[in-house]
Amino acid sequence: MSLKKKPLKSKPICKVSFNLAKEQAKAAREVHLVGEFNDWEIGATPMRKQKDGSFSATLDLATGREYQYRYLIDGDIWISDPEADKYAFSPFGDCENSVVTV
């Protein structure tokens, strides 16, 4: 599963773990998580490469809203999350953004 959500009881925050499987990452050297939560800043959220070849990152996101995002592989290839909660039209290019609902 690529999205794991763990709401905090003490705050309106949810810990969201994003995981890009090895099959989607292919032979990536680096992957960045880019989206509304980091103002679409390309280098703001690098993902960690795991021993199995997948990449992961965990963010604290405010609950009660949706966030659009995509993965950027090696600074060149944009992909959507195949296990996103839903998808939204992107005005940039011929694609859809992934959406996580928290």
**Phi and psi (nearest 5°) for 94?**
-100, 75
For 91-101, how does the pLDDT look when each residue is reduced to its tens digit (9 = 90+)?
877 789 999 99
What's domain 3-101's superfamily in CATH?
Immunoglobulins (2.60.40.10)
Domain ranges within the chain, ordered by starting residue: 3-101
Tell me: the pLDDT tens digits for 19-75? 999 999 988 999 999 999 999 999 999 999 999 999 999 999 999 999 999 999 999
Buried b (16+ CB within 10 A) or exposed e, 18-49: bbbbeebbeebeebbbbbebbeeeeeebebeb
Residues written for the chain? 102
| Residues in a beta bridge with 87 | 98
